[in-house]
Structure 1
Amino acid sequence: MSTITRLGTANMYDSTLRNINGRQSDLANIAEKNAAGKRVLRPSDDPVAAAQAERAITRMARTDADQRALDAQRGVIEYAGSTLKASMDALQEFRGLLLGAGNGAYEQSSRDALVTQMTSLRDQLLTYANRKDSNGLPLFRGLDSSEQPIQGYNFAGQPGQTASSDNSIANTIDGAAAWMNVPTGNGVLAVSIGAGNTGKAWADVGVITDPAAATALTAPVDIAFSKDASGNLQYSLDGGATFTSYKSGDAINVAGMKLTVTGEPAVGDKFTVKPSERTTLFNILDQAIAAVRSGAKANGSTDTGALTHAVTRGVAEIDAGLNRLSSAQSLTGDLLNRADRVEEGLALRKDRLEGERSSAEDIDLIAGQSEQQMRQLGLQAALQSYASIQKLSLFNFIN
């Protein structure tokens, strides 16, 4: 038995209207997406793609934060580098003044003028060492675990402080290494002049000829001068009974080091050789200034031996300090190069994340425009069909 289904005109009207409304909604939706350039405007459009896009956006925000932090770190290191450059210039000037102070033609009044300049440069260097960044933190914070005070300021240790990472660089230079760790003498052994010397002799910093013997020295060794029965100068090592005739400029071998004593030592004068120690650059400058300030004897004449010895040793130790500052400045250059590489990596990461976000939520404008046109044509066809259906009534048929 067949079933006859009767469809009224009203049902056809309702169905057509629903079709038209749906097509209008779809057209409006695709038009909105094309205008925004996005395939996913709300999570309901594609939950999975929306989640992927959100993750990419979050990671890009973190990358932007890393970039801002890197920019701040770069600024600090650039400031530290320029400060080290200014410090090296000031130290070079101090070195030149110290060499000038050793000029035998100078009187103490002339050396006093040099002392004023040297003191000013020393104060400048202390200011550079204590300089702070825009956040009020010292540029040269110590990275070790100890505190090393200089002139009322501490290079406070930074336990657990990280250095450069994949997305950042260190935001400080090790001040302890730059300013607080300068070797005395030639770096292995140091020669000091006897406090009671009255002659006109001085020693150089020496040249290491036997590293094993030099590093094995643990106790000071004295080079003491006296005269033999004929009145000729001689010296002995550490109060020994073996005496060697002395001639100005001849090398003296002691503790694996070739040492040259120049000038005319007096009987009882001595020089002491001992292991090199670590001191601060500021102690070296203070000792040099003190030596120049007290470069005259009680009678007003120049204390040639003590002054020349202090100048020779001071210049050698200042050169060691310059090497320390130069190494620190080289580190700033390395950190800035690293910052460039990190920045390049952050840019590549951001480009990749932007690609992931775009792939998840952006629309293909060509395909979107094509779909919009197709939906427009579909809507027009539906409207035309509805207009035709409106004419399908019995009264229109009778007419």
Structure 2
Amino acid sequence: MSLRLATSTIFATGTGQINSLQTQMAKTQEQLSANKRVLTASDDPIASARSLEVTQSQSMNTQFATNRNNAKSSLSLVDKTMQDVTAQIQSIQTSIVAAGNATYTQSDRQALATQLEGQMKDLIGMANTTDGTGGYIFSGYQSTTQPFSQTPTGATYQGDQGVRSLQVGSARKMSVTANGSQIFDAVPTGNGTFQTQASTSNTGSGIVSPGSVTDRSQLNGHNYAINFAIGGTPSATTYSVMDTTTNPATAVLQNQPYTAGATISFGGMSTSITGAPADGDSFTVQPSQKQSVFTTLQNLIDTLKGPADGSTGKATLANNLATAGSNMANALSNVLTVQATVGANLNELDTLDSSGQALDEQYTQTLNNLDNYDLAKTISLFTQQQQTLQAAQISFKTMSGLSLFNYIS
């Protein structure tokens, strides 16, 4: 029994096969162009799903790398500014030492005060450093608000207490700015635990040392006064230490003989006084407070502009210079602490960069393994499909040309 094929069937079957072969070859060509095996989820659903997950992770890793670059830029600016501030404070410390020179005249001290006024402006300018895009790096979250404005007593902080941060790793969020209030305003006075000061009404030549802590377990945070008296026959200078936090004040030490430079100890603290305090002179010992470096600098300028006549004036100058020296040393310590933190963060960013690069290479390798793309195999397949298509086209042409009408003359 013979099988009869209609001409339409021959054409439909032939074109269908050719279209199918062309589609397969086009798919292989796309794989060659994209250099990938899996182009759509239907090519390999499992590999495609895993590839999507890895690609998303790699994208996040790339974003973290971008964040780290931004963090480095911001932290480097903070570090450079802190270096400039350090140099400025050290210069001010040199001026404090120079101002204590016994040969200096009022004119010399006035010249130092003028120099310090310029350094005040420079220091405020550093505290108002911007990031190049108009944002202030020391104003907390209020990046568009200038953090410091100069006042007659120093400068006031107008930012907030925030510290801007960036996600620099999957489990690491890092501060990329510093808070101006903590750097420039929160400077402990005195020796960092307590501060000693001479009363402004003193008439003698007593000069008090910054003191030190001798026993922290005895510190109670109280305010004390060292009061001097001169009397008796022969005349003798004595002092009493009063705890002025209690009401009424209570005596801690009473009528102790005064020896210039001798250690005076009480409440886990010790200090010493040199010179010749007058009858009724007083020195205070109080817990350290937080004070702006700009306030310290303005007080220093006012001191240098004021008179320093006679033994009393010289003692007042020496006491104020000692106070300024201690406070500026604490300000420098504050700045160096910020620098150390910034340096540690920059080192950590370098470490995170290395880890991020290794992770990116791992993601790339995983994607390559999931795609399992073999260039030689794909080229061989494409050549085979091309030859198959050509054979199909030739056979279709031959089949479609078979007709009895070709033999009728």
TM-score, normalising length: structure 1: 0.83
Alignment of 1:11-160 (within 5 A): 15=13, 18-42=16-40, 45-46=43-44, 49-50=47-48, 52-142=50-140, 151-158=155-162
Q: Of the candidates 304, 318, 332, which is equivalent to residue 292 of structure 1?
A: 304
Q: Of the candidates 6, 28, 39, which is equivalent to residue 3 of structure 2?
A: 6
**Compared CA separation, residues 162 and 380, structure 1 to 2 (3 A):** closer
Q: Are residue 235 (structure 1) and residue 239 (structure 2) matched?
A: yes
What amino acid is the match of 2:24? D
| Runs of 5+ unmatched residues, structure 2 | 142-146, 243-249
Between 1:270-279 and 1:105-114, the stretch displaced more is 270-279
Q: Are residue 174 (structure 1) and residue 179 (structure 2) matched?
A: yes
Between 1:338-347 and 1:69-78, the stretch displaced more is 338-347
| 1:157 partner SS | coil
| 2:300 partner SS | helix
Match of 1:202 in 2: 207
| 1:337 partner SS | helix
Q: Are residue 312 (structure 1) and residue 322 (structure 2) matched?
A: yes
Match of 2:352 in 1: 342
Aligned 8 A contact 1:115 1:289 in 2:
yes
Q: Matched residues in 2 for 1:179 and 1:113: separation?
A: 25
What amino acid is the match of 1:266? A
| 2:110 partner SS | helix
Q: Are residue 220 (structure 1) and residue 230 (structure 2) matched?
A: no
Q: Matched residues in 1 for 2:371 and 2:326: separation?
A: 67
Q: Matched residues in 1 for 2:229 and 2:339: separation?
A: 44
Q: Matched residues in 1 for 2:392 and 2:72: separation?
A: 64
| 2:206 partner SS | strand
Match of 1:248 in 2: 260
Q: Matched residues in 2 for 1:253 and 1:229: separation?
A: 27
Aligned 8 A contact 1:209 1:256 in 2:
yes
TM-superposed deviation, 1:77: 1.3
Aligned 8 A contact 1:37 1:362 in 2:
no
Aligned 8 A contact 1:295 1:306 in 2:
no
| 1:260 partner SS | strand
Aligned 8 A contact 2:195 2:288 in 1:
yes
**Compared CA separation, residues 393 and 156, structure 1 to 2 (3 A):** closer
| 1:155 partner SS | coil
TM-superposed deviation, 1:237: 2.4
What amino acid is the match of 1:37? N
TM-superposed deviation, 1:200: 2.0
Q: Matched residues in 2 for 1:113 and 1:156: separation?
A: 36
| 2:64 partner SS | helix
TM-superposed deviation, 1:60: 4.0
Aligned 8 A contact 1:182 1:278 in 2:
yes
Q: Of the candidates 342, 345, 366, which is equivalent to residue 332 of structure 1?
A: 342
**Compared CA separation, residues 128 and 199, structure 1 to 2 (3 A):** same
Q: Matched residues in 1 for 2:394 and 2:167: separation?
A: 70
TM-superposed deviation, 1:367: 1.6
Aligned 8 A contact 1:209 1:258 in 2:
yes
| 2:175 partner SS | coil
Aligned 8 A contact 2:155 2:295 in 1:
no
TM-superposed deviation, 1:351: 3.5
Q: Matched residues in 2 for 1:357 and 1:140: separation?
A: 43
**Compared CA separation, residues 105 and 364, structure 1 to 2 (3 A):** same
| 2:228 partner SS | strand
Aligned 8 A contact 1:20 1:382 in 2:
yes
Q: % of aligned pairs identical?
A: 25
Between 1:341-350 and 1:220-229, the stretch displaced more is 341-350
Match of 1:192 in 2: 197
Q: Matched residues in 2 for 1:46 and 1:5: separation?
A: 45
Q: Matched residues in 2 for 1:157 and 1:391: separation?
A: 89
| 2:131 partner SS | coil
**Compared CA separation, residues 152 and 243, structure 1 to 2 (3 A):** closer
Query: C-alpha offsets along residues 186-240 of structure 1, whole Å, 9 cap, x if unaligned?
Result: 1222111021222222111112212223x21413222324243212333232395
- Report 1 or 2 for greater relative contact order, CA contacts < 8 Å, sequence distance ≥ 6: 1
Aligned 8 A contact 1:39 1:361 in 2:
yes
Match of 2:245 in 1: none
Q: Matched residues in 2 for 1:177 and 1:164: separation?
A: 23
Query: C-alpha offsets along residues 44-97 of structure 1, whole Å, 9 cap, x if unaligned?
Result: 555665555455545544444333333222211111111111001100000000
Match of 1:268 in 2: 280
TM-superposed deviation, 1:364: 2.0
- Give the superposed CA RMSD: 3.5
TM-superposed deviation, 1:184: 1.5
Query: C-alpha offsets along residues 8-30 of structure 1, whole Å, 9 cap, x if unaligned?
Result: 48566764554444334423331
TM-superposed deviation, 1:247: 2.4
Between 1:358-367 and 1:110-119, the stretch displaced more is 358-367
